[in-house]
Structure 1
Amino acid sequence: MSTEHLLAQILAKRSFLCIGLDTDPQQLPAGLQGEEDPVFAFNKAVIDATHHLCVAYKPNTAFYEAGGSRGWASLERTIAYLNTHYPDHFTIADAKRGDIGNTSGRYARAFFEGMDFDALTVAPYMGRDSVEPFLAFEGRFVILLALTSNPGAFDFQTLPCGTEELCLRVLRQSREYSHPERLMYVVGATKASYLSKVREVVPDAFLLIPGVGAQGGSLEEVCRYGMTDGVGLLVNSSRGIIYASQGEDFAAAATKAAATLQMEMAAILKAAGL
């Protein structure tokens, strides 16, 4: 998928919502426990109920890897279902990979070729040679961790690095990597005031914004500081949508929660003249 196609979907749906499929088997409604694959059954129901309100889905792979081969099979079924039934949606494997070059190359093949995700979150700590293997795949995107939404982000990510903070150095340095047009960045909604600084370094790149909803981030502030003429934002909500209800009405509740965010996004896009 190209960023042009992603933008077209955003403008058509009046939404830049990404839904995180952080599906915990211990939080599934009782009525799904009899399914052959309860996790996939839950994901399928959420996807079918929300696909018209969002432009992206982001499974966090930890929730699947914890289940061993059974959990991995649920992830494979989920991405296959998305690619078959909703191929216009941008798909993100939230795996936060990153290692020495040949290992990164294998991780990239697993997610881009093996499961056909559009994008993968990658940790930048090991530098250029750990990131560039992911950038070698045409039509795929690396979403580099820049400034995350968790409280511990301040342990390292905002420390001085020369004349700027480390997170900004990561952004600046990454623009020198091969195929920088395939880079997107994670910037947490709980750090919205940093978005102006981020945009000085990466004025046009897409940003994946976690932390709206359950973590307390403000959609209005994120858009005020981070939106570009080409939108440039994918705002993620996970628990606030998929666990809007833990009863048998979970899919309908997910639709309602996603629609609330989508309507706010539509109003913001209209006000921005987009």
Structure 2
Amino acid sequence: MSFLQKLASAISDNQSCLCVGLDPNLDLLPTDVQELDKSDVQKVERFLKTVIEVTQDHCAAYKPNLGFFEALGSQGWELFFRILDEIPSDKIIIADAKRGDISSTAEHYSKAFFEQTEVDAITLNPLMGFETLEPFLADKDKGIYTLALTSNPGAADLLLQKLSSGQTISSYIAQQLSYKQENSEGAIGMVVGATQAEDLRPVITEFSEAPLLIPGVGKQGGSITALADALDDHLGLPLINSSRSIIYAGNDTSHWEQAVSESAEQLTHQLRPITKKYV
């Protein structure tokens, strides 16, 4: 099954375009998990396994953020592999790695994630040039999500700067990704922030069939209504990511598992106007 087929199936079967971000911050773990007489890695494992168990009925995808696993050292990498095994097979798994390098380094990043793990896609940074994407595009069963218009304020420093043509760098990236997709087996998607809804349409118009990974809903304050308006004419399938507002929803309660589940269910319901466009 190609990446795009699996993506379509995951959204349709789960009636959801929600992606749950797995960002295990030791300082934010629920109190009863922090108080366990276990190592930090064991606490994170217990936490993430529970998060996956209680959210899997409400989402189409999971996005483990590699920085949080790498911060745990070599055992964090081992934990990453164990967590991948916990994610149901009907979900899309996106490695949030934001790698971006040239030549054999990119080739080895591709081997590391696409040959040594069971992830379906990876996030990439294109700012060293579009050649850095090529090693990830040989397999139709895999996808990439390329940073195009990120959700953080720093997007204004580079991505929203204008070129002499009048295009923003974000729009130029989207245009070039569209051209590259024409000759690539792997699926090329884009990371675009829900917090940038007012600047989003010119970017996604340049690559209207791109699958989108959309952070910024939840703690970052992105508007679902504004996002739905921006996506009105977009053809590519969206995954709308939420991390902290879901996985740490129950930190102030003794029944944090229920709060996490309810937060995922509630966001899935709020995203229904977007989801129904694609299922």
TM-score scaled by structure 2? 0.90
Q: State the 1:207 CA deviation.
A: 0.9
Quote the residue 1:258 is aligned against. 264
Identity, % of aligned positions: 38
Length, aligned pairs only: 270
Equivalent in 167, 172, 180 of residue 170 of structure 2: 167
Relative to structure 1, the CA distance from residue 173 to residue 65 in structure 2 (aligned partners, 3 Å threshold; closer, same or farther) is same
Mapping 1:19-98, distance limit 5 Å: 19-32=20-33, 33-35=36-38, 37-82=42-87, 86-98=88-100
**Which residue number in structure 2 is paired with residue 112 of structure 1?**
114
Counterparts in 2 of 1:72 and 1:273: CA distance versus 1, 3 Å: closer
Matches within 5 A, 1:1-274: 1-32=2-33, 33-35=36-38, 37-82=42-87, 86-163=88-165, 164-177=167-180, 178-179=183-184, 182-228=187-233, 232-246=237-251, 247-270=253-276, 272=277, 274=279
Stretches of structure 2 that go unaligned for 5 or more consecutive residues are: none
How far apart are 1:4 and its partner, in Å? 2.5
Alpha-carbon shift at residue 266 of structure 1 (Å) = 2.5
1:156 aligned counterpart, secondary structure: coil
SS at match of 1:157: coil
| Contact 1:174-1:180 within 8 A present in 2 as well | no
Find the residue that maps to 1:185 and give its secondary structure.
Answer: strand
SS of equivalent to 1:9:
helix
Could you tell me whether the CA contact under 8 Å between 1:56 and 1:90 is conserved in 2?
yes
Structure 1 pair 195/229, CA: closer, same or farther in 2 (3 Å)? Answer: closer
Asked if 1 retains the 8 angstrom alpha-carbon contact of 2:3 and 2:187, the reply is: no
Residue 178 of structure 2 contacts residue 206 of structure 2 at CA under 8 Å; is this kept in 1?
Answer: no
RMSD: 1.9
* Partner Cα distance (1:231, 1:124) in 2: 20
> What is the distance in 2 between the residues matched to 1:44 and 1:269?
26
Q: TM-score, normalised by structure 1?
A: 0.92
The Cα of 1:176 is off from its aligned counterpart by: 2.8
1:227 offset after TM fit, Å? 4.6
Distance 1:22 1:166, change over 3 A: same
Preserved CA contact (<8 Å) 1:14 1:269: yes
**CA displacement 1:69-97 (0-9 Å, x = unmatched):** 12212211111221xxx101000010100
